[in-house]
Amino acid sequence: MGIPLQAEGETFGVLWIYKLALDAFDQEDLQLAQIFANQVSVALSNARLYEHVRLLSETDGLTGLLNSRSLLDLTERAVNHALATGGCVSLFFIDCDNFKKINDCFGHPVGDQFLRFFATLLLEGIREGDVVIRYAGDEFIILLPNTNLEAATIIGGRLIELIRVKTMQDNPALHTTISMGLATYPKHAVFAEDLIKHADDALYASKRNGKDQLSVYAPVLADIQGNIQTNPT
C-alpha cells in the first residue's frame, strides 16, 4: 500500500506499507495509513520550512554566501574537530582595498554588482571544504578547516595574486586588491572567538602597512593596534 506524502499541493514522498499476504489491506487500513501519512507530511513540511528559514537567516542576500550569523558556529565546529583529531584550523579576514572608491565613482548599484563578482573570485580561489562568509560590507572571512599555517599562507598568497589580475568582464575598470589577516588554531588561538579576533588584528596590520598583502597574527601586532586605538597621537 502506497500513500503519497503531500503538503500544500506538493508531493515529496511516498509512505509504503508492506504485508506478506494477498488482499492484506482493507478500507480501514487505508484510512489509518492515510491519517498517519497526513501527520508525517505535516511534520516533514514544517521541518523543511524551518530549514529554509534557517538558511535564509544565515545567507547573505546580495552574494549568496553565508553571513556573519553562521561564523562563530562554523568556527567552533572546526576548532572542536581539530581539537579531537590533533589538527589545525586557519581563518582569513579579508577587506577590499578600494571598494569605497568604486562606490563613490560608479554608485552603490555597481558597487553591489562588484561585491557579487568579488564573492565569485573568493569561491574560485579556495578549495573544496573551505567556507567563504560575507562578514559585513566589503569584509569577508574564509574558514579553512584542517589547514595549518604554512598551507594557509600559500593559499592566501595565491588568492592575493588572483584578485590582483581579475577584472569584471563587463566593466574592466572595476578591480581591487585585498588586505588579508591570518590566524591559525592552535598556534595563535585555542578558542573560536579569539581565532576570529586575531585574524581581524592581522588584517588591520596589512592595512596599516600599505594594503595588498597578507599579514599573519602576532601578539606584537595586536599590541600596536591597541596602542593606536587608545593613543591616536
The model's pLDDT over 124-151, given as tens digits with 9 standing for 90+, comes to 988 899 999 999 889 999 999 999 999 9
- Cα 157 from Cα 125, distance rounded (Å): 10
pLDDT class of 178 with cuts at 50, 70, 90:
very high
Mean pLDDT, residues 17-31 taken together: 85
Q: Examine the residue annotation and report whether 138 is marked as an active-site residue of this protein.
A: yes
- Cα 129 from Cα 73, distance rounded (Å): 16
**Residue 48, helix vs strand vs coil:** helix
Catalytic hit among 138, 194, 200, 201: 138
**pTM, entire model:** 0.72
- Tens digit of pLDDT for each residue in 55-90? 555 788 899 899 988 899 999 999 999 999 999 999
pLDDT at 159: 94
203 touches 181 (CB < 8 A): yes
pLDDT class of 162 with cuts at 50, 70, 90:
very high
- The CA-based dihedral angle spanning residues 187, 160, 201, 116, taken in that order and rounded to the nearest 10 degrees: -120
- Cα 58 from Cα 183, distance rounded (Å): 23
> Which contiguous run of DSSP H or E holds residue 180?
strand 178-185
- Domains identified in the chain and CATH numbers: 2-57 (no CATH), 66-230 (3.30.70.270)
Instruction: Pull the grid cell for residue 59.
Output: 545567507
